[in-house]
Structure 1
C-alpha cells in the first residue's frame, strides 16, 4: 500500500502532541526516576498524582504520573489551534462513530477524550494553563536536561490503516519502512509540528505505547545521563543505545521507567515544515534503518510496550520481521 498523499487541509488543525498520562504502581519510585534522574520539573503533586514539565515548556504539564494498581498508558494528549478547531475535532470523531466524551481535565479549559479506530485513547484540547518560563533558570537543570516532549511511538497491528486515519486528520508522513515482500508499511513517522514526528507507528501487537520521547540539548547530555544511571541504581533500566538512528538521523537512548514504560531521549533530527516535503523510504532489512551505525535493536524493543487503558491489543496482520540483535 503506498504512502498516502499529504492532507494539507484537514478537518481540524492539530498543532502538536502535548502530554501523556501514565499509570504507575509506585509513585515515589517513579518520581525518583522522572524528577531526580531525568530532570523533569514538578509543577504540582499530591498523594496520587504528579504533574511534570520539561525546561522549555510553558504549558502546565507534558506528563502526568498517576498512582494505579496496574501500570499502563492512560491516554495521549494533543493540542489543537483554538476552541473552534476543538469543536471541529469533536464533530469529526463523532461523525466517524468514535466516542467523544467531554471531560474535566485539570489545568485544561475544555477537553474531550476519544479513541482512534485502532483503540488508542486520545485527549484533544486547545488551552492549557500557562506557567512562567524556566528555560533560563539554569540552577534547575539536572539529569539529561530535558527541553520538551517530542513524540510518541505506538505499536500498531495494521500500520497502513493507522497511517490512513492519521493522514486524514493532517499528520504528514516524513519517513517510512516498507516490507519489500508485501509492499505494506512496517513503520511510519508522521508530524504536525515540523520535526520528523509527533507520532509514529511500528508493526506489532497493538495498539500499545512503544515509547514517549523527550528532546534534549546535545548527545553529551545523553552520555551524562548514562553515567548517572549506571552509578545510582538504574543500570538495568538502560535498554538500547546510545546511537544514531538511520530514520530521523537523531541521536538516541532508550530507557525504561520502574514500571517498564519506555522513554527515549532524543536530539538532532531535522526540519520538515515544507508542505511538499517528500517522505524517505527505508527497506525493512536495511541494517542502517534502525541505527545509522548498523547496530540492531534488542528483541525487547520489538516486543514489549505499555498497554493502553481499556484496549486489548490484537496481533499484527503483517508477519515480516526486521533485523534483531542476537
Structure 2
C-alpha cells in the first residue's frame, strides 16, 4: 500500500501530542525515576497520582503517573487548536463508528475521550491550565534535563490501516519503512507539530505503547544520564543506545521505568513544516534504518510494550522482521 497523500485541510486541527497517563504499581518508585532521575517537574501530586511537566512546557502536565494494581497505559492525549475543533472531532470519530464521550479531567478544559480503530484510547482538548515558565530557572535543571514531550510510538497490528486513519485527520508521514516483498508498511512516522513525528507506528502485536519520548538539549545530556543510571542502581533499566537513528537522524537512548514502560530520550531530528515535503523511504533490511552506525536493536525492542487499559492486543498481519541483534 503506498503512503497516502496528506490531508492538508482536515476536519479538525490537532496541534501536537500533549500527554500520557501511565498506570504504575508504586508511585514512590515511579516518582524517583521520572522526577529524581530524569528531571521532570512535579505540577501536582496526591495519594493517587503525580502530574509532571518538562522544563519548556507551560501546560500543567505531559505525564500523569496513576497508582494501579497493574501497569498499563490509560490514555494518549492531544491538543487541538480551538474549542470548535473538539466538536468537529466528536463528529469525526462518531461518524467513524468509534466511541465518543465528554469527560472531566483535572487541570484540563472540555475533553473528548475516544479511540482509534485498533482501540488506542485517545483524548483531545483545547485548554489546559497554564503554569508560570520555568525554562530559565536553571537551578531546577537536573537528570537528563528534559525540555518537552516529543512523541509516541505504538505497536500496530496493521501499520497501513493506522497510517490511513491518522492521515485522514491531518497527520503527515515523514519517513516510513516498507517490506519490499509485500509492499506493506512495517513502520511509519507521522507528525503535526513540524518535527519528524508526534505519532509513530511499528509493526507488532498491538495495539500497545512502544514508547514515549522526551526531547533533551544535546547528546551530552544523554551521556550524563547514562553515567547517572549506571551509578545509582538503574543500569539494568538501560535497554538500547546511545546511538543515532537512520530514520529521523536523531540521537537516542531507550530506558525502562520500574514498571517496564519504555521512554526514549531524544534530540537532533529535523524540521518538517513544509506541507509538500516528500516522505523518506527505507527498506526493512537496511542496517542503517534502525541505527545510522549500523548496530541492530535488541529483541526486546521489537517484542516488549505497554498494554493499553482494557484493550486486547492481537498479532500483526505482517510477519516480516528487520535485522535483530543476537
Offset at 1:247? Answer: 0.1
Say what the alpha-carbon RMSD is for the aligned residues: 0.3
Structure 1 residues 39-118: aligned runs within 5 Å: 39-118=39-118
Alpha-carbon distance between aligned partners in 2 of 1:36 and 1:101, rounded to the nearest angstrom:
36
Task: Report the TM-score when normalising by structure 1.
Answer: 1.00
The match for 2:15 is: 15
Alpha-carbon distance between aligned partners in 2 of 1:52 and 1:104, rounded to the nearest angstrom:
19
Offset at 1:112? Answer: 1.3
The match for 2:137 is: 137
Structure 1 residues 1-326: aligned runs within 5 Å: 1-326=1-326
Offset at 1:101? Answer: 1.1
Offset at 1:305? Answer: 0.1
Task: Report the TM-score when normalising by structure 2.
Answer: 1.00
Greater Cα shift, 88-97 or 212-221: 88-97
| Runs of 4+ residues deviating >4 angstroms | none
Alpha-carbon distance between aligned partners in 2 of 1:28 and 1:277, rounded to the nearest angstrom:
44
Alpha-carbon distance between aligned partners in 2 of 1:20 and 1:8, rounded to the nearest angstrom:
26
SS of the counterpart of 2:139?
A: helix
* Deviation sequence 1:127-164 (CA, Å, 0-9, x none): 00000000000000000000000000000000000000
SS of the counterpart of 2:186?
A: strand
Alpha-carbon distance between aligned partners in 2 of 1:31 and 1:146, rounded to the nearest angstrom:
15
Alpha-carbon distance between aligned partners in 2 of 1:97 and 1:318, rounded to the nearest angstrom:
26
Gapped runs of 5+ residues in structure 1? none
Offset at 1:123? Answer: 0.6
Offset at 1:310? Answer: 1.1
Offset at 1:256? Answer: 0.1
Alpha-carbon distance between aligned partners in 2 of 1:132 and 1:35, rounded to the nearest angstrom:
19
Q: Paired residues, what number?
A: 326
SS of the counterpart of 1:4?
A: coil
